[in-house]
Chains A and B, each alone.
Chain A
């Protein structure tokens, strides 16, 4: 059946602020299978990107504890040379902002060609060019021969994102990390880019970690979903269970915040408060407790752990069993309908 591709165990990525280290990713354990899209959802600042960067080994000033097993290697323990061998070849990343993720002084062709060159020095120039044109075709760029010699500033945002995808898939990676690949794009382009990522995943039989805060994207793309809050995974389940039977208060609040087109709503649901910043994050107890103050404190665990409530469906802390949305919200809601 599904084959495990990446296994992350007790990952803790900490950044130094003044003299202390603060964990942006705290005790994350998860796995990604081949030919599977694992979506990681959460608010800004929940540690999604920090997690992705840890997997790619792209943090240069962070302290990384725990293990990331991928292809019999433990990524945090790899030497820079070995890491460079894997990056861009076995694993690759699609970035958030296509407008800044390309070198403004290099032609599109050279930028894609570089990743081919870095992992196969024997490939002749002509062969590389051929392959780049192939890739440009594959990601749906018209007139690839012409685009090859263009510079990034001559292309639209959607086209540039396609180029970034071409760079990522150039060496047919087994693991593809997409860090909010559609956030900076027009809605019309978003769907095209997502379709493209899905197609490529099928072609390459790759595992995909899709980082997003857009639940629409999750519903469309993901096989499994991990919900992150304040550096921790609070719920992880396959996409159907998560949308049909969300458990953790945070997941439920997130889903509740999505406006529903079938209902008339006066007010959008908002989650009270903000994600506490790294320095002021409570390191004990349920991290979401401060944002659901109407829930009795006894509902939370002292040291919240992941509980498997159904096969493959994990949720952190016990507070979900007693969680409800406050009354006033419901009243406003029903007023809106009548």
Chain B
């Protein structure tokens, strides 16, 4: 299995390299550059042109790319026009916020999906199952931004159970217990409202997979051995049903990125999604490029984790 993981890691690096090239080229193709619009229109165009030449903006793309990448690996992500600060500083804190939001969302997603999927699949076509599948259809149909707004209104404003914006209450000492609690409080509602929607596909996958596995021959073998139903389910059906769930995990991460863009904006949560949307709207391209690159890397890592999980669960995937 280690062989498989190492080999899989080797594939990941070229993927990330390719991603960085694509992201860079797409940023290049966007009209305008750092010296468009930002500069006092009274300045002599010749002077701007000279400045362009000095900053290397007229170089061919591969030289600019090499420049950019060597900056990247040294932690220099460029300057944000809007915030007038290094992108690395800007991204740092937000990346952490989004990371924790994603972790919380994933925990909620599987905390909802596993029990519901198992109940629904094990006792399919009962009232419990119909209720759960009913929920998944609503989940498929309801847009995330509507659900998030409704949750914010109900739990944030009406009931007042959760804070309605930001990632932490102001005036708390970072590192203190209160700070940590406040962080978690700010996380819960956005994470939960995202999970409630994104979990439905996992519930459906798990349900149909359990129903499918229930009818496999090796389940009859297990029963013929004298295994009680609980063991048949826990040992034989459940693990076999997890295979597609693990395969789906990478996709789930990609979904989180899309979801965080909505949710962070609705909850005013200072994370990557919010930064992304703001930067696109304000044409803060050095930030956009970095954020897209980070999202891309997250998706690639998701696929990597997915494959590793699969190889742990399913021996047929491992390489000898």
Contacts and interface: CB of A to CB of B under 8 A. Distances in A.
Interface of A: 56, 58, 80-81, 84-89, 92-93, 95, 97, 100-106, 114-115, 118-119, 151, 153, 164, 167-168
Contacts of B226: 84-89, 115, 118-119
A88 B315 CA distance: 26
Given A151-B315, A151-B316, A153-B316, A101 B221 contact: yes
Contact of B218 (A89, A92, A101): A101
A167 B221 contact: yes
A102 B222 CA distance: 9
A167 B225 contact: yes
Q: By DSSP majority rule, is chain B's interface helix, strand, loop, or mixed?
A: helix
**When A and B form their complex, which 10 residue pairs have the shortest distance between CB atoms, in order from nearest?**
A88-B226, A100-B217, A88-B225, A87-B226, A115-B225, A84-B226, A103-B218, A151-B315, A101-B217, A93-B224
Given A58-B223, A95-B220, A105 B313 contact: yes
B3 interface: no
Contacts of B313: 105
B228 interface: yes
B211 to A, nearest CB: 14
A92 B221 CA distance: 10
A110 B192 CA distance: 40
A114 B227 contact: yes
Contacts, number: 74
B94 interface: no
A142 to B, nearest CB: 19
A153 to B, nearest CB: 5
Given A151-B315, A151-B316, A153-B316, A104 B227 contact: no
Contacts of B316: 104, 151, 153
Contacts of B227: 84, 88, 114, 118
Interface in B197-247: 216-218, 220-229, 231, 235-236, 239-240, 243
A103 B240 contact: yes
Of the listed residues A118, A153, A168, the one surrounded by the most CB atoms of chain B closer than 10 A to its CB is A118
Contacts of A95: 217, 220-221, 224
B225 A104 contact: no
A101 B243 CA distance: 18
Nearest to B222: A103
A105 B217 contact: no
Contacts of A100: 216-218
14 contacts: A56-B224, A84-B227, A87-B224, A88-B227, A92-B224, A95-B224, A97-B217, A103-B222, A104-B315, A105-B239, A106-B236, A114-B222, A119-B226, A167-B221
A164 B217 CA distance: 12
B314 interface: yes
A103 B237 CA distance: 9
B228 A84 contact: yes
Nearest to B243: A105
Contacts of A118: 225-227, 231
A225 to B, nearest CB: 24
Given A92-B224, A118-B225, A164-B221, 18 more contacts: A56-B224, A58-B220, A84-B228, A87-B223, A87-B225, A87-B226, A95-B224, A97-B217, A101-B220, A103-B236, A104-B218, A104-B316, A105-B243, A105-B315, A115-B226, A119-B226, A151-B316, A167-B225
A104 B221 CA distance: 12
A164 B222 CA distance: 11
B228 A81 contact: yes
B244 to A, nearest CB: 13
A102 B221 contact: yes
Contacts of B243: 105
A88 B228 contact: no
A287 B315 CA distance: 49
Contacts of B315: 104-105, 151, 153
Given A81-B228, A115-B226, A102 B218 contact: yes
A92 B226 CA distance: 9
Nearest to A119: B226
Nearest to A97: B217
A218 B223 CA distance: 28
Contacts of B220: 58, 95, 101
Contacts of A101: 217-218, 220-221
A88 B223 CA distance: 8
